[in-house]
Amino acid sequence: MLILYGFGGVGRTLVEVVRSRTDLKISAVFDSRGGVLKCGGFEKPEIEALLRSPRGGVSRSGVGSPAALEEAFRCAEVLVDVSPPNYADGEPAVAVYRSALKAGLSIVTANKAPLALRFQEFEGKPIYYKATVMAGTPVVDLALGLRGQRPLGIRGILNGTTNYILSRVDLDGLSFADALEEAKAKGYVEPDPAIDLEGLDAAAKLVILANALGVGLSLGQVRREPLRYLGPRTKYVAEADLERGTARVSPIQLGPDDPLLSARYSTNAVEITTEVNEVRVYGKGAGRLETSLALLNDVLRAARERRCR
C-alpha cells in the first residue's frame, strides 16, 4: 500500500503509471489542503475521481474518508513524496519523514530539499531517492555503485531548465530575455524562479550526488552564482572538488572541446571522477513521466526489500 504525499503534475502522472503497470494499491493521497484515506486501497473509479479533482481539492473529492497524514501510516508500507521543495528548512517534509520512519514506513522521494539539507540524518534509513537527480537517468544508482572508490570530483549540467535557456541563446540565436520568457511560457521554470535561475536546484542535486558517493557535502558549502549568458558555449555548471570540500554552481564559458557541450536543451550531463575511474553520463532530467518512472522503480525496490527484512 502506498501513501502519495503531493498531488501535482508528477503525483498525478505517478498514479497513472502505478495503475497501468502494477497491481500496487494506493491507500491515501494528500495535497497542500488535506487528504483522503481508504485502508483497502482506492478502486479504479475512485482513482479516476481523484485524478479529476482540482489542485488542492483532494479532500473534497468525495473519495475515501478525510484523514490526517499520521492516520494513513497504519494502512501503508511506503510513503511517496512528490511535494514541492522548501530549501529554507526542508519542512514540512522533514517532519513527515521522521514520523513515517518512526511508524515503520519506507520513503520514496522526488523532493530534493530534505536530503540536500539533512542527508546525514537520513543516511542508512529506508529512503530511496533516485528521482531527485536526473530522474530519467539512473545517476544516483551509479553514484551509490561507486562507493568504496575514493571520490575526487563531480562536474555536470544538472538543471534542464537553465540548459534549455542557454541552448536557445547559443544554438538558436534568441536573446537571453526571450529564451527565459519562452522557458517560463512552456512551464519549465519553477514557480519560484530562483530555484532554477539562482542555482538552488543544481546545488541540491550536487549535494545529493556527493553524499551518495559518501562525501558529506552540505547545501551551505555550495557557492552559487545566478544564471547569465557569458558568450558562446556558456553552460551553467555544477562542480565539486570532493577532496577539498569546495563546490559551486556558476555560468562558465567552456572550451570548444569540452564534453559537457554535448548536453543540449533539456539534456543533463554529469562527470564523476574517482581514484580509478572517470564516468560520464548523459540523459534526460526530470519530466513528469521520467520522474514518475524513477519513483516507480524505487517503490518496487522498497517493496522488494521490505519483503526480505
- Cβ atoms of 80 and 131 closer than 8 Å: no
> 294 vs 76, 153, 225, 273, CA distance in Å?
20, 25, 30, 24
Which of the residues 130, 205, 235, 284 is marked catalytic?
205
Q: Which burial class, exposed, middle or buried, applies to 158 when counting CB atoms under 10 A from its CB (0-12, 13-18, 19+)?
A: buried
**Alpha carbon distance 29, 21 (integer Å):** 19
Cα atoms in the Cβ-side hemisphere of radius 13 Å centred on 80 = 36
Residue 48, C-beta contacts closer than 8 angstroms, at least 6 positions apart: none
Q: Are 284 and 290 in contact (CB under 8 A)?
A: yes
Q: Is 184 an annotated catalytic residue? A: no
Ordered alpha helix ranges (H), the chain: 9-21, 44-52, 69-72, 93-102, 112-122, 139-145, 160-172, 176-185, 194-197, 200-212, 288-307
Of 306, 265, 248, 308, residue with least CA distance to 79: 306
Give catalytic residues, as residue numbers: 205
